[in-house]
């Protein structure tokens, strides 16, 4: 059972590694003036290069990383996971060294890589969960229930904060603007600004 957990963890790390490395390489090539997107994907999905990089490259990298690690025979999964984790932090340093004179590009790549790690981690966790869902569910009903309740709370808060609250503020400001018979819309904009919706 312990070996199975290490294997699943190695799949997860391989997915994060694949998604991050493929995307950061593509971004580095794009900043050097090369093309990092696949034209047939742009044609099929009607996307631009930057959309391809942000949406498709990490997921393709995650799938490639998990597939490669799942198909090859490995004797020591913990060592492979350690080496992949090490690679996750060494490779960006190499890219930063290559970009050294340009501080603006370095700052962009650091922010890009941080967001990319998060995105690749979530994608890898999701895909590894789909692959190994039966192993996860054995005896963990209370954890699953807790996770579902937490997810519902988070989604409920997000719905309130990003949809319901702004809509109510807009309605209130609209009423205030109509009461004051605001022709130019200054009252409406200042009301939205005072409530924190517009800058």
Handedness of CA 135, 141, 146, 150 (dihedral sign): positive
Residue 143 domain flag = no
Of residues 171 and 43, the one with the higher pLDDT is: 171
Q: What is the mean pLDDT of residues 177-196?
A: 76
Question: Is residue 199 one of the residues assigned to a domain?
Answer: no
pLDDT of 47 reads: 57
Identify the H or E element spanning 197. none
Phi, psi of 33 (to 5 degrees): 100, 0
Structural domain contains residue 180: yes
pLDDT bin (cut points 50, 70, 90) of residue 38 is low
The whole-angstrom distance between residue 57's C-alpha and the CA centroid of its chain comes to 11
State the DSSP H helix or E strand holding residue 158, giving kind and residue range, or none if neither. helix 141-159
Query: Are residues 35 and 75 located together in one domain of the fold?
Result: yes
The model's confidence at residue 23, banded by pLDDT at 50, 70 and 90, is confident
187: which 2 tokens? 């009252």
Residues 28 and 114 in one domain: yes
Residue 179 lies in a domain: yes
Average pLDDT over the chain, rounded to an integer: 76
pLDDT digits (tens, 9 = 90+) for 42-99: 555 555 555 555 667 777 888 888 888 888 888 888 888 898 888 888 877 777 777 6
Q: How many domains does the structure of the chain reveal?
A: 2
pLDDT in tens, 126-160: 888 888 777 766 766 677 777 878 888 888 888 88
State residue 197's pLDDT score. 73
| Nearest-5° Cα angle at 190, 185 to 191 | 100
User: What Rg do the C-alpha atoms of the chain give, in angstroms?
Assistant: 23
Looking at per-residue pLDDT, the higher value among 23 and 156 belongs to 156
pLDDT at residue 111, as a whole number: 76
- The residue segments making up the domain with residue 157 are 148-194
Q: Is 108 exposed, middle or buried (0-12, 13-18, 19+ CB in 10 A)?
A: middle
């Amino acid at each position: 059972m312990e070996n199975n957990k290490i294997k699943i963890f190695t799949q997860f790390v391989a997915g994060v590694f694949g998604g991050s490395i493929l995307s950061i390489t593509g971004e580095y090539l794009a900043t050097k003036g090369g093309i990092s997107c696949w034209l047939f994907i742009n044609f099929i999905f009607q996307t631009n290069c930057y959309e391809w990089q942000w949406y498709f490259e990490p997921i393709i990298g995650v799938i490639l990383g998990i597939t490669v690690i799942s198909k090859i025979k490995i004797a020591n999964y913990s060592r492979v996971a350690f080496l992949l984790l090490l690679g996750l932090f060494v490779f960006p340093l190499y890219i930063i060294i290559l970009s050294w004179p340009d501080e603006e590009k370095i700052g962009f790549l650091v922010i890009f890589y941080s967001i990319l790690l998060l995105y690749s981690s979530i994608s890898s966790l999701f895909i590894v969960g789909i692959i190994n869902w039966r192993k996860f569910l054995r005896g963990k009903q209370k954890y699953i229930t807790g996770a579902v309740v937490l997810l519902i709370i988070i989604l409920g808060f997000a719905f309130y904060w990003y949809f319901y609250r702004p809509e109510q503020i807009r309605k209130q400001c609209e009423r205030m603007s109509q009461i004051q018979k605001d022709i130019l819309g200054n009252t409406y904009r200042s009301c939205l600004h005072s409530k924190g919706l517009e800058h």
